[in-house]
Structure 1
């Protein structure tokens, strides 16, 4: 399924942390586009803006729920303001209600299928702005599944830098018996009465022994920097959780990608040609919106960069293998990815790749961006 940007009006720009280090941005979706922007809790959107004449794109997770889109026509995201960050600074300091931003429809695998007839215990381990999609997931789970419960372990640096404190408190007030919130602060003074520590292996081991019973959790949601997600996976594995099962442990990385290199092939695999030396030309065939384009490019160039030389409208955002906006399927040939933790094992097995992290192996590669 190919994606294209749609201009959406800004409804509000509000503080999302007491110290001003994060904002919540609300986009208004007209009735005619609500089906286009329909999403599952935990997914994200890509925004595009032109700042000082330069095109900027960033992906941000949705903290609102699918029901809020259906009922009120709103999409809400959390934006951590990065010092010197051009896009986050633009959102926090310049963007005003009534203005428009170009937005891609939601994508992402950090989600699950909630069922009103299900009774389950969900648990989330989130660090910093990783609470953004977890807020959407928790609110949706509690609303859709009246017999289910949720535990959220949220790590922040300080009380004032914690995001969506009021929204989480409101959710706790609505579901006091089914929602458990466990905030942890890494830079608050020990002995202040607040839970102190980082979400590392030691801290997570302690909380799994006191705040959670891993064997009673149906699904886990891990969201934050790679170090936190890796520590959580390791700790869960030590407590008997199959952390390699994507249907049990869902992960979302917010910074970089430290996954080992992965190879994606078409199925059944065709004979593999020898790897060509960097600089030798390859042929890349790009299928997008039903139209095919061909480009010759050096072997060391990332597929996304090569593809955009002939199809600049291709969807992309982070270019680091985290947002999955550029996901495509290899329908001919073979590629090698230098990272791809944002893709599930099932997607990799089916031939999906992240072109921003992939280089060609065979002389000819065909990428289909229209396959959902």
Structure 2
């Protein structure tokens, strides 16, 4: 059984940095983002790690896990929202008190996804893959990003529908933010390896493949035990986003996960758009997707709204999803069951 937290109106948000914090020269972004959330009725409690950054991390691993544990166990705090991702969240996973985790949403992507996936696999509590706090600092949010609130306010037993974006951002222009932060200029087209319309159903699990692949073979990456304990053997619908892997790195990572048993009882795989995926000797990401679809015999859908080329959907680890792709457009229906 999956446990689904519930985001209430005027919630108290805990801001902690399990990966990278915000360096001093960018503190203005964090103040802007927390101020924007406060103007919308939320109360913010900001941890020390959010304000510091040195040697590719916000703080020593022990401090990051301690602050995270405190916020997860603090009854005043309803929701954990890191400022952004980073590089070294993996370091703090051993210090997380999984037995004492209380029912509250954790939302993030990139490096934060190694923490959220580990928590869902270990505890059966749903976690959320989507926008980070810093990207909510704009005057407004685009319709896709803005759905995070609707998704996290969905009650157990309820359904929530999201649709693909009209346009996406090709590259970041941090020095030139728009009213909703992103520069959405490129037409969005969801694609399938089959070239045909596809519909696939299953329990969502996933995150940034650069980092979540390192959970395989550890006690925090036991997909088989999770499946047996929490979802009654329902098929798993994987989603991945690629931050920095070349096409061959991506291929090797997927082979590793296949060998680790992650794709047993898999109903399909979704891949987000990526600024990486660089070809190697003519071997492309599309070749990777075709190879995977052929080996697993399941639909593979790619260039969905997920990852480092926003906007992105809010995808819930543990939720039962039905994903439909037709004529370049996508619909994702998630059921909290």
TM-score by length of 2: 0.31
Higher relative contact order (CA 8 A, sep 6+): 2
More helix by share: 2
Bigger radius of gyration:
1
More strand by share: 1
TM-score by length of 1: 0.29
